Amino acid sequence: MQDLIRQLLVEIGEDPTREGLLNTPKRVEKALKFLASGYDADIDVVLNNAYFTVDYSEMVIVKDIDFYSLCEHHLLPFFGKCHVAYIPSTKVIGLSKIPRLVDVFARRLQVQERLTNQIADTIREKIAPLGVAVVMEATHLCMSMRGVEKQNSYAVTSAMLGIFRENARTRMEFLELLRTRTASMAGLPANVPLACINE
């Protein structure tokens, strides 16, 4: 890989033997292996059987999971927030495992639409909940650094499975909870409008 990176530096007009670039191939190789580490990840090992039988049938939501991925079209980053919800049937999944699951699929060459579906499908497969919902909001550097160069645009994708797809009321409850930030978490009075919190 390092030889390929040196050749790439030559092709873009650089000198890979100059001081600042001598160790770049090694650093890029290390970075790419980390950013693509999701290919080698075993979902079952990552989740580590953290499934628990509980008497709970209300919505479980993990919001604002930071994620970073690489666009498969340009190998440029896209990044943002992932929000995951599910309604258990008999089992719940350890809360810390959900961000880990997001990372497994984000650390691959991706498109946001497929990434969203992979997270939802895996949760459905592992704990068979009544429904799963995943919403992802991301900034794509292939749009802001190049191409249309729209720095303030972002993409939103969603996957709604089971009761979230079938029941509009359940779906709207989830989406409304995503828009809500508790005053205590935001550090602001309860009567501050949501738009101000977002700003």
The helix-helix angle for 97-106 and 112-127 (nearest 10°) equals 140
Angle in degrees, CA 176, 182, 184, rounded to 5: 180
Catalytic: 83? no
* Per annotation, catalytic residue among 7, 72, 113, 125: 72
38-73 in b/e form (b: 16+ CB < 10 A) is beebebeeebeeebeeeeeeebbebeebebebbbee
**Active-site choice (83, 110, 118, 140):** 140
- Which residue among the candidates 82, 110, 112, 118 is catalytic per the annotation? 112
Rg for the chain (alpha carbons), in Å? 20
Tracing tokens 């600042």 back to the chain, one arrives at 20
Check 7, 73, 113, 125 and give the catalytic one.
Answer: 73
- Which of 71, 82, 83, 118 is catalytic? The answer is 71
Q: Is the dihedral of CA 118, 185, 52, 129 positive or negative?
A: negative
DSSP label at 95? Answer: T
Catalytic-labelled residue, pool 2, 74, 137, 173: 74
CA–CA separation, 185 and 194 (whole Å): 13
142 as an active site residue: the answer is yes
**Is 140 a known active-site residue?**
yes
Residue 2 is among the residues annotated as catalytic for this protein: no
For this structure, is 71 an active site residue?
yes
Active site residues: 71-74, 112, 140, 142
